[in-house]
Chain A
Amino acid sequence: MSRLEAKKPSFCRSEPLTSERVRATLSVLKGIVTSCYGPAGRLKQLHNGLGGSVCTTSQSAALLANLPVTHPILKILTTSVQNHVSCFSDGGLFTAILCCNLVENVQRLGLTPTTVIKLNKQLLSLCTSYLKSEACGCRIPVNFSSTQILLCLVRSILTSKPACMLTTKEIDHISTLILRAFLLIIPENAQDHIILGKSIIVPLKRQRVIDSTVLPGILIEISEVQLMKILPIKKSDSFKVALFCVSLSGDLSDTGEGNVVVSYGVSLENAVLDQLLNLGRQLVSDHVDLVLCQKVIHPSLKQFLRTHHVIAVDRVGVAVMEPLSKVTGTRPIGSLDSISPSSYGSVKDLCTAKFGFKHFFHIIPNEATVCSLLLCNRNDTAWDELKLTCQTALHALQLTIKEPCVLLGGGCTETHLAAYIRHKTRSEPEGILRDDGCTQTELQLITEAFCSALESLAGSLEHDGGEVLTDGKYGHFWSVQADSPSVVNWPDVLSRCGCGLYSSQEELSWSFLRSARPPFVPQTCLPCEATDSAGNLTLDCFTAKLSGLQVAVETANLILDLSYVIEDKN
């Protein structure tokens, strides 16, 4: 029964950002996301007091999905980060922290929202055009003839997720696997535009990480009982496959809207079974070797097929239907009578395999772009985290193929970008202030807020109480151990910058990130040999980071523009 009730009046608040409560909640959220950021980030344990599993994570995707947010402003922030993550997988924490920093910094200034929004937008377009330009000093073009940079990218992503609980050796192993899985899904004979295949992640929990592996083709998990029935597989170089999307269980299909009256003594089950056995006969006479069914196969039909040495695997599920039809070249069959011969496909080999305690039926295609990544980890939460990370890495690789370049990681892009903007607004403010009616002072204030938001984002990579520095030549990010002596010769305590491109042996004028520094021209144009020689760089996905930057600034603008909040209390 639907009840019509008078709606309760909504709750209306003006100037939401000025309220102390909102600021407090924003800073709590900022604290949460900041402490998760980077390889040294702290883990968060989310558990529901009413039950359910405990989630240990430091990833924005898992964190924000489980975090209950009540205030509408925080909701805007978290949903925009979540939407970004669902588009690009990577860079969620980056977006969230930057957005929080921007809102906080700009609010302190007390300028009118119009000015702030205009100038923020100008600074953003300055950033994006610089990052997209050839002269950009924090962008490395990807050379696909070597796997070095791609491997660095994957390793950086794995390193930045401490909740996966991987050792250095395991990180090396998994990053090689991910890269191999990615290379397997690239079609060999690519035309003008590439259609990537799919890598299916197969769970194998409570095993050693080192046992993880990548196999070409598709793995279908089967029970041991089923496995006994399948054995043995005859030797052949090609197997004919039929793939059914319709149920072969013998249930009556939809009988229409009217009534069906069945006379006494007429058994429809027998009639349908007859039909199924006829189908079986046709399959046998067509020399099909393997029958796969999305739904259930009737035991009698299974029995019939087995006696004729046809392997039948049922309940494969809708998820693998598309990759299956792709690797085998079959057309999913939706009919019980007369199958067109063109619907059959073929595979190169079939075998059964046992990984850990699970049995799999392994379909090896002739040439295909589908692979299975068997992923192991010690416990459930760590496995979930690792799976998310692998998906992120695979997605980042895909994005890198579209836009073949990567950004320097480890905080170097942020500090470099901040140095560039400072220099740009100081040297040519006219170009930015063209027709906006804003003053130079306002521009300087906003620039300072914007740059310090970027720098404190980089600074939040350091969690162990160490000092963060930047150099006066490249504008890169350097961090010092907490327990280093106070009066120091910088090159002694520093080793390499955040991304690992430069070493401290060069004479660079270091200064604290938080202290005031004279603006300088950061060296643009990376030297080619630098990118080739440096073996172990920390890198970030270009597309994800660029979009994260845009989304963060847009969301911050949106939040700063709010004058009222109307809450519907119904």
Chain B
Amino acid sequence: MSVPDYMQCAEDHQTVVVVVQPMGIVPEDQFFRIYKRIASVSQVSIRDSQRVLFIRFRHHYPPENNEWGDFQTHRKVVGLISVTSCTTAKEWPQTSDRFHGQKEVFGSTLYDSRLLVFGLQGEVAEQQRTDVAFYPSYDDCPDVEKRVEDFVESIFIVLESKRLDRATDKSGDKIQMLCVPFEKKDFVGLDTDSRHYKKRCQGRMRKHVGDLCLQAGMLQDALVHYHMAVELLRSVNDFLWLGAALEGLCSASVIFHYPGGTAGKSGARKPSVSSAADAGKRHRPGALTSSGISADTSAEIGRAKNCLSQEDIIEKYKEAISYYGKYKSAGVIELEACIKAVRVLAIQKRAMEASEFLQNAVYINLGQLSEEEKIQRYSVLSELYELIGFQRKSAFFKRVAAMQCVAPTIPEPGWKACYKLLLETLPGYSLSLDPKDFSKGTHRGWAAVQLRLLHELVYASRRMGNPGLSVRHLSFLLQTMLDFLSDQEKKEVTQSLENYTSKCPGGMEVISLPDGLKLSPVPFTKLPIVRSVSLLNLPVSLRPHKVKGLLGQGLSSASPFIYSPITMHSRGDERSKKIDFQWVQGDVCEVQLMVYNPMPFELRVENMGLLTSGVDFESLPAALSLPAESGLYPVTLVGVPRTAGNITINGYHTSVFGVSSDCLLEGLVGVKSSGCMVEVVPSLPRLQLCTSLPRFTHFSSSEYKINLSTSVSLQLFNGETQQLTITLENIGTETLNTLELTSKTLSTKEKLFGEFLTWDLQDALSHLPLKSGQSVSIPVNISAKLDFSGQESLLNDLNDDGISVTGLPVSSPLRQVLKPRTENKPVGSDASKNEFNHVKTLEAVLTFKYSGGAGQVEGYYRELSLGVRVDVEPSVFFTRVSTLPATSTRQCHLLLDVFNSTEHELTLSAKNNQDLVLHASECQRMAIQVDKLDFDSMPVTDHDALRQATVRQQEEKRQQVQGGLINSTLDIHWTIISFTERHGEASVEGVLNQLILEHLQLAPLQWDVVVNGKPCDCDVIADCRVGDAVPLEVKLTNRSKSAVGPFSLTIVPFQDYQNGVQNYDLQDAVTFIGSNTFYIGTVNPTENSVCVGALLFLYTGDFYLNIKFQDDSTARDLPPAWFCLPSVHIKAQEPVEL
């Protein structure tokens, strides 16, 4: 006997074997359908008794095993059911013959047999035969089960008769010697009459009867017989049979103790029969006797006495196995006994002892085994180890079995079976094929062993002809075992992976195996490793801004409290947190990943893109190549959102070594992320800006630098104006509807006069709406007008006594305003002396706000900022300013000391003045005659502004306005001669101070002197005739805010000899008609008063009139400049001859 039945268990001892075989050509599936129906009748309750017969159906049974039937009757084939197809009656005789032939195979042991014929109809089928059943087809055989039950009953009758026959045989003198096949030759020539031999025969027969009793359902009888057999055989040292008797005893006891069976899932016993209570009832002695079949005397003996205890079962099994072990040919019996014992132990939960049995089973040599048997053997060992909870051992044997499937000696390796078995070993090596289980922390386990197993899986799946599977496994290996691979191995694994993927690219789909196992996809989250994910804001110029003041803007309704110390913060929220910037539909958006390559070679990542949800997103994949073991490496992934809404970045996809993987961020460990959700606003137009000036990058104000889309720089001389043309092109797809332009001069310590940037947007606005691709130009004037009084610090140094050149004390608040703040000035006299050569920098930002398209509807706009930087080189300085009264009281002379600080020769021109040529670094005085100005008549600008401002600010403001007025009247221009195009203005605003302003101001009391009906002023010469009375009129107009007067005026005539001598002694030459003293009463504001007198010139000549004020106390509190009367020049001529 060489074929072990690895599925055996102890309760199989009470079964009878029935072989079901196909005969002739029977379709396999049909046969197994019938077989299944037959096999469902695995236990039959026998009529008229409470006993049950258990049947083991086999569709294949080696005849050699049948030969051991005497040794253990449950190995004996007692029944045969043949299944055959027979379509015509003609075939019937032949079929019948073949059935008889088949019966011959098991002939010696068969109790009964049946033939099931399918397909035959008609005459032949009509015949009634007990051993043959006819069915028209495989589908139409309703009473197969019934037939089988009848058949089993007939077997039972034979069995029962045999049992009774044998049981009562003991009275007979000659007992047949039962023996196993290999013993037969040993008995040749043995003395059959010896006591020893007889006893042996008796013992064996007892054991045989015990087997029969057990099969016939008489457990108690069986136990008694076994006990007797054990005693008998022990006395004659018939070890093999002693072992069998012991095993029988064990089996019977096991059946008693464990009615549920020991075979686990394979032993499908109906619970109704096997419940303990039922079993007890069944074996009650009374019941047995009442059945009338058996009246065995031993039935009276208490079953507890005969039945082995649980511990004893194991002891007896051990003993039995040790006896079997003495016979080499009984290896199969020993092995099966071991297996049965293990099953019992597994139920008893005595794993250690079970493992000893199994260990023994491993070493039982069954001689030359076929490969298939080896596989079966290892699989069963594995199963048994699993049964006792030795997962690892089980996995080990399963793996051995798997390897056996593909042993090189096998001509057709069963890779599929190998693969299937390997898969089953995974739990034993605590390996799961789901990469998610490995994502938590570092991998812990028996890496070397697991690695090996994975390699084997890869190889097996490849040989199976399923490259997709091997790619999946190899990717899994690479992903999870990366830390344990040496550099060399990494190279090898990736190389083979690339080989496989060239045939079958790996993807993200779940691979389902036929047996239901699902291989989830393996995303390569470690190739490369991602450390952080951050969504990038759009470039400044493309960022959308929400129009302020729209309803619901900036109001968070999350909490009714303005401030709460309880932050609504939870750890998990970080990823879902919304980022506080927006992306714009249709514009390229960026996400930056920090990645590194853990491989010892260059890693090519292809098709790397973003995985998003919420919004249609067009991902623009990137390919990158990471150097070996790179450090952190920034990678920017881009894409274009195609619709508006909230977009969530879920992860990224890559394609590495031909395996494309979708890596979700939530599954990644150690990834820093500041949030992955961002709002996408509807599309907005895009403007591109170009200027007529060169680009410039070093914008100094860092806070603005980041916000600037572009910046320009230019160099200007102080006072120069240049035009900048800005061209805006709509490069987006949306139509531009609105455009606004604002400017902001960055805070500078330099005082700036006039508007720095001026523009006219009307022309550009008329071009709106601007369609895609169109452009518009905007001219912007840049004028740099800084303080031209740069010399002041130098003057300060010269006038350390605190009195400035113009005589105003330094402590005056007005003066402080004019001066640059001292703390901002560079320290050291050298620096301050060179100040007028110093290049000053002005910076401003031009901001275009524009909107259009769907974004405008939602209230978004974009800003485009242009930084303008102007390096202002000094042109001219007014180093000193003073006034000289002019001949006319309405005018005065402004004296300006102008310094040319450029390296070029320049000309300076003022209104009504000739050009002044200044060489480099030359200083000249320039005198300009100016009409005095009436500041009070200037319009007061903004009352509200004035009211809010402090007194000082008002004063400053006023002064600024006055300065501007003066400047516009002066209109000083300079031109650099060498560059004709370089010209500019020079503003005196900065140099003017209170005193000069007062000088330039028209007095509030306006005096008009009219001589001879002709208004007189300094340069006007009034003509008159000698002897004629010359009327003189003095008119006072009060423009001040209060009433003035009364005043008294005295008119003193004199003659100027132009040599410094003035002759006041003119009583002879001039005489007054009336008084030479005028009196003017109180003059209310805006009113005037006129006093009239007359003069009479007696001689011809040039006369001057000096109008003097009488010393009057009332005039004293008014400034003397208010009493500035023009001097009158009168030319007296010869009277006309009549």
Q: A and B from one assembly? A: no
